[in-house]
Amino acid sequence: MSTAHLETASPPPESGTRPRRIAFVVTSMHGGGAEAVGVAWIAWFAQAGYEVSVLMVSDKPVLDGLAPSVRVREFGRVGGHFAKVRALRRAVQEDQFDAIVALQTYPNLLTVAATRRRRGRPTVVLTEHNLISLGLPGSPLSHRAKVWLAKRWYRRADAVTSASHPVGAEMASAFNVPPSRSLVVPNPALAKVADRDPVRRIPGTADGIQLVLACRLVPQKSPHLALHAARALRDRGIDTEVVSFGGGPLQAELVALAAELGVRFTPHGWVEDWFSHFAPNSVVILPSYREGLGNVLVEAAARGVPAVAVSTALGVADAIIPGVTGELAFSDDPESIADAVEAASELTMEDVDSWLDRFTAESSSALLERAIAYASRAEARV
């Protein structure tokens, strides 16, 4: 099902009939992009008057600053997968939720297992935020087992939402989710960007380029490509440095690689408001080999800074407008990425506000609300 279908569908039922008691099943409310998505959705639904519960399946700390009305139940210390399923099933029975929204693969699987009895169960909406199949090579057996189950269980949900169209395509083609229950709900990528005033930029490369590596330094993100692209730009006579916001296990390796390549590299570790630290010659780079969406590409555009990603990462195509908010490198070859960086540096980043509005917390959450209502009607027809 296309996003257009969802966005032009009839609005949710009136407040007397739409689901009012909603639970979000999450691993954590801290960390990466999917966790931030969950926090934004939880806050919006609480403000909209829903009775919101958060069912956490890890023992990570509860987020400070949640609305007082949000009830948090922690199952992280419940030992074992089957015990967690039983605990979630009891919570569903006790609290009589109208709908459950699960975020990411493990919470999705726990939710399907806990609600497998159709009679009297709440509406079940699963959400995926990454391209899963591309991450299988070399992955641990436990992850492969989760994916094996997901390919058999996701079809049992009343709806599965995807962060981008490529993720939606994977849900339909590899996870057997019926098209009538596969929906695209863009991430609220701008939930953290309070200031959308554009950075004072100097387009072009005359003043050099600051490549902003805005991602965790982990293999999926291929951060080494940013350093190799910087070396390619330097060899073209363009003064280039790389700054990193994210931290991660590859940081020491990247410091050594930068020294070997003769590239200036400054790792800043995890910085929540990384988009508040742009230089006038910044270009954001996200060299991942796979992405569900690439929230940082949208965050950069909100500050008027162009971005570059690799076209073969697939999900990034929903987060960049080539020639307007950034460029897609043809391949992961450093020269190809350097070409894209040069082209992106020239962009003026004009007239993108209406596109950016698609990624606000309000817009994304309202689409999720429609997805829940749509799934509720579909579930009632079964």
The model's pLDDT over 142-176, given as tens digits with 9 standing for 90+, comes to 889 999 999 999 999 999 999 999 999 999 999 99
pLDDT at 118: 64
Residues 69 and 144 in one domain: yes
- How many structural domains comprise the chain? 2
Q: 368 lies in which domain range?
A: 3-188+360-381
Based on the domain organization, do 353 and 367 belong to the same domain? no
- Based on the fold, state whether residues 173 and 225 are members of the same structural domain: no
d(Cα 103, Cα 129) in Å, to the nearest integer? 8
Supply the pLDDT for residue 309. Answer: 98
Assigned domain for 83 exists:
yes
Query: What is the residue whose two structure tokens read 């939402």?
Result: 161
Examine residue 198 and state whether it is found in any structural domain, yes or no: no
- How confident is the model over 80-119, as pLDDT tens digits? 999 999 999 999 999 999 999 999 999 999 999 999 876 7
Residue 156 lies in a domain: yes
Q: 193 lies in a domain?
A: no
Same domain as 369, residue 327: no
